Amino acid sequence: MPTPEEAVWAAGPWSHRDIAANGVRFHAVEMGSGPLVLLLHSFPEYWWTWRLLLPDLAAAGYHAVAVDLRGYGGSDHTPHGYDPFTLSADAAGIIRSLGQSDAAIIGHGWGGLVAWSAAVLRRQVVRALAPIAMPHPNMLRRAFVADPEQRKLSRYAIGFQVPFRPERKLLRDDAAEVTAILQRWSGSTQWPDSHTAHQYQAAMQFGATAHCALEYYRWAVRSIPRPDGRRFAEQMAAPVTQPVLQILGQNDGSLLTRTFDGSETFVTGRYERHEMSGVGHFPQEERPTEFNQLVLRWLNSL
C-alpha cells in the first residue's frame, strides 16, 4: 500500500498544482489545453478516480482539471463548508481562478451533486454538466424520504450521523472499510483490484479526510427538515438550462435506477441519459473505455 502522500500526489502524465478559490486552497491535477473540463470526484475517492479519463480528454483537445474536493486529499480540510451552497461556490471559484469564464463539469456522486447545484446556483460558470451516478438533488431527497427501498440502501448515511464512531470504522485496519464500500457499490466482483483499493485506502488516511468526507453526509441528512435544506430544495426546483449528460450503472449498490427517474423534468436544456448494464456506482472505473467514449462524444457535440 502506498503512503497517503504517495497516493494523493500520485505520479503520471499529469501535473499537480494548487488552486486558490473561495478562501480555500484546492489540490488539482491537469492535462491538456483547450476548453475547460472540471472533474469532481465522490466518496470514498479523490481526484485519482479520473486518471483514465484525463489523458483521453487532453488528447481530444480539452483542458482537463481533476480537483480534490474540499476536505479531501491535498485540498484544505476545513471545519465547515460541506453544504451545496459552499461547494457550488468552490466550483465557480476554481473555474474563475483557472482564468476561464465557464466550464463543462463532470461530477461523480457528490461531485455530480455539486455539478447539479452549480448549474442552478452558479449557472453563469457552468457551460454543461455530466452528473455521474447522481440523480437530481430533489429526486434524491424525495427518494430518501418517500422510498423505503432507497432509504434501506442509504442506511449507511444514517449511520454516518453518529459522531466519532464512523470515522474510527472508516480508518480501522488501514481504512479497509473503503474497499468494502467500493465492493458493495460496484457492479462487478472484478473491481476494485488490489492496487486501486490500496490507493483509495491510503488517500482516506491523509489528514482529516475521513472526518471531512463524512461531513458531506451529515449536512445532507440533517438538513432535510431544516430551513437551509428546504431552501436548497426550493432553489434547485429552478430549471437547468445547460446541456446535461446523465450516466448511471444499472447495478449501482447505493442508488436505485428509479431514483434517477424524473431528473429530466428539471432540465430545459438538452438532456441525455445513458444506463450502463453490468455496471455499479463507478462507471468511470468499472467500464472506462465505454465511459470515456460516451463523455467525449457528448463533449464534442456541445
Q: Is the pTM of this model over 0.95?
A: yes
Strand partners, 249: 276
Residue type, 193: D
What are the cell numbers at 210?
Answer: 475521513
Q: Which of 104, 85, 114, 102 is nearest to 234 (CA)?
A: 85
- Across the range 80-84, mean pLDDT stands at 98
For the chain, the straight-line distance linking the first and the last C-alpha, in angstroms and rounded, comes to 41
271-276 and 63-67: which strand pairing?
unpaired
According to the model, what pLDDT value does residue 243 have?
98
**Cβ(201)–Cβ(264) below 8 Å:** no
Confidence of residue 55 (pLDDT cuts 50, 70, 90): very high
Show the domain range for 174: 4-301
Q: For residue 279, what pLDDT is reported?
A: 97
List the one residue out of 32, 49, 40 whose CA is nearest residue 197: 49
pLDDT digits (tens, 9 = 90+) for 98-130: 999 999 999 999 999 999 999 999 999 999 999
Domain count along the chain? 1
The phi, psi pair for 135, rounded to 5°, reads: -70, 170
Q: What is the CATH number of the domain that holds 285?
A: 3.40.50.1820
- Burial bucket for residue 291 (CB in 10 Å: 0-12, 13-18, 19+): buried
Among residues 186, 195, 202, 200, the alpha carbon closest in space to that of 287 is found at 186
Q: In 3-state terms, what secondary structure has residue 248?
A: strand
What is the average pLDDT across 47-76?
A: 98
Give yes or no for a contact between 217 and 82, defined as CB atoms under 8 angstroms apart: no
Mean pLDDT across the chain: 97
